[in-house]
Amino acid sequence: MDWTVAEAAGHLAETILWYATDLAAGERRLDTMELRVPPATAHADLIRTVGAFATVLARVVDATPPGARGWHPMGQADASGFAAMACDELLVHSDDAARGLGVPFTPSDGLVKATLTRLFPWAPDADPRPALLWCNGRIALPGLPRQDRWAWHCAPLDEWDGHNPANRP
């Protein structure tokens, strides 16, 4: 990645709040908000910002009526899709930050597996942590090169057509 750890954390916070806004706004794209977490934000405040925005998304997810959708570039996501995308962002960018800082990052296997299953139903049958990083184009797996393009399936799982959306033209 070309980002600093602070830029990755800022992106993570911005994305989570964007997901809350898109879910609350409904099925039509809404691009009226300009949100930017300043890259010079103190590290402790970046962590607090991620936590605060995750709380906003969790409350929007909890308040979303069954069957409601929100616009996302990869599809009309339901509340579980937005929650899973936020989990994916948290897992992948926390891994990015940990690598950048040279510290270990060991997320919950249950969270990794749930995120992988919800967003990447075509994921290879492999250890969930590396499989999630492979699905996000971060690493190669044995017999599987690193992906140049990747995509989520954020609509309800019963709408998945059995194909990896990254392979569509």
Q: What is the C-alpha end-to-end distance of the chain, expressed in Å?
A: 25
DSSP 148: S
Q: Do 116 and 128 meet the contact criterion of CB atoms below 8 Å apart?
A: yes
In a 10 Å sphere around its CB, with 0-12 CB exposed, 13-18 middle and 19+ buried, how is residue 27 labelled? exposed
Mean pLDDT for the stretch of residues 133-147: 95
Q: How far is Cα 41 from Cα 47, in angstroms, rounded to an integer?
A: 10
In the block, tokens 């409601």 appear at 68
Q: How confident is the model at residue 151 (pLDDT cuts 50, 70, 90)?
A: very high
Q: How confident is the model at residue 159 (pLDDT cuts 50, 70, 90)?
A: very high
Q: Do 85 and 154 meet the contact criterion of CB atoms below 8 Å apart?
A: yes
104: left (phi over 0), alpha (psi -120 to 50) or beta: beta
Q: Do 23 and 79 meet the contact criterion of CB atoms below 8 Å apart?
A: yes
Looking at residue 33, its pLDDT comes to: 86
Looking at residue 168, its pLDDT comes to: 82
Rg, C-alpha atoms of the chain: 16
pLDDT over 80 at 169, yes or no: no
* Joined tokens for residue 50: 């991620």
pLDDT tens-digit map of 8-64: 999 999 999 999 999 999 999 998 988 899 989 999 999 999 999 999 999 999 999
